[in-house]
Amino acid sequence: MTASSESLILLDPYPRTESMVYTGDVAAGLAGMGRVVMHFGSRAPDTFIEPLLPEVTVIVGQTAMPKERLNRAPNLRAVLNVKGNWEPNVDYAAAQARGVHVLSAAPAMAPAVAEYCLGQAIALARGLNQADALFRSGREAYGIAGNSAAYSLYGSDVSILGYGNLGRALVPLLRPFNCRISVYDPWVSDGFLRSEGVEPASLDTALSSSRFLFLLAGVTTENEGGLDRARLSLIRRDATVILASRAEIVDFGAFLKLAADGRFRAAVDVYPEEPVAVGDPVRNTPNVLFSSHLAGGMEASYSLIREMLLDDIGQILRGLPPLRMQRADPRLSPMMRSR
């Protein structure tokens, strides 16, 4: 089947904005694939969505699609989630049974997040955040005298928790540093990890064995809060820990307390509630390098999202499988608890 002007493409991408997902090139590309209907600024209300269901062919966004709605959308061929998560408002099994592709733009964020992780790890290990403060206050030391607590990523033991899009994007960036890389991910086989050139590890081994630890797992019904104080206490002293996926995988208070006490060096980009309140005492935590969910949200990431969705919508409307975005697994996707 080929794309035609009869295809109805619905854009309901909130919280993504028009400038993020519907630039001129996207508008031109989608116009050649079908009729486009848009709703920006909030999630489209039922009164907007329901009349479109009998005709809609492709949905771009986070529109709720339970089984009852899927049944009212006989021409639907794809739902393209332009966030980096799986939301619980889609009946993934029913969509698969109907032959509806459910896709996520998560892979588009991975290169920027991986770059962030590498940069923060080096900054913390070399003590560059403290060096800046010391210099500004006139208390700096030069050369080896200023590097007494510094260490290098080169030749270090590295552990990654979670080998999804983020972990797989980070590993190639670590290769030039000749790191020994181990991975804990209960959803990935040991054989696959070894084929990727990394060593499978248990959770406790991953936490305790490495100088650099990257927490890149998504939050699920199985692991939410699983890195409690006892588990976090396994992290080796003076390790560098990067939390860049979802804050809910850790006991966030315990994580910050251990970092504040100097048990390990930490960079944090994600929080249990965002935005963080202005007066939140989290902001005063010492020994932590904070950023405000900046890792993936770059123009380069949104440009890649736009490129991927145009490619995959074109594929789907031609009766071909999507190639760029991540496919939902009907068993695993409903377990995700990302916001």
Residues paired with 37 in a beta bridge: 10
Go through the domains of the chain in sequence order and give each one's CATH number: 8-107+299-335 (3.40.50.720), 109-290 (3.40.50.720)
**Matching residue, tokens 């396994």:** 234
pLDDT value at 3 more than 50: no
Q: What are phi and psi of 136, to 5 degrees?
A: -65, -30
pLDDT reported for residue 5:
56
DSSP per position, 222-281: TTTT-B-HHHHTTSPTTEEEEE-S-GGGB-HHHHHHHHHTTSEEEEE---SSSSPPTT-G
Using one digit for the tens of pLDDT, what is the confidence trace for 85-96? 898 999 999 999
313, 306 contact by CB (below 8 A): no
Using one digit for the tens of pLDDT, what is the confidence trace for 232-248? 999 999 899 999 999 99
Two structure tokens written together for 257: 């307390």
pLDDT reported for residue 2:
41
Two structure tokens written together for 330: 């009907």
Using one digit for the tens of pLDDT, what is the confidence trace for 114-140? 999 999 999 999 999 999 999 999 999
**Average pLDDT, rounded, for the chain:** 95
Using one digit for the tens of pLDDT, what is the confidence trace for 246-272? 999 999 999 999 999 999 999 999 999
Element (H or E) spanning 134, and its range? helix 128-136
Strand order in the sheet with 101-104: 35-38, 8-12, 56-61, 78-81, 101-104, 326-327
Taking the C-alpha atoms of residue 164 and residue 244, their distance in angstroms, rounded to an integer, is: 13
Using one digit for the tens of pLDDT, what is the confidence trace for 203-232? 999 999 999 999 999 988 888 889 999 999
For a pLDDT cut of 70, what percent of the chain falls above it?
A: 98
Using one digit for the tens of pLDDT, what is the confidence trace for 276-330? 999 999 999 999 999 999 999 999 999 999 999 999 999 999 999 999 999 999 9
Taking the C-alpha atoms of residue 192 and residue 185, their distance in angstroms, rounded to an integer, is: 11
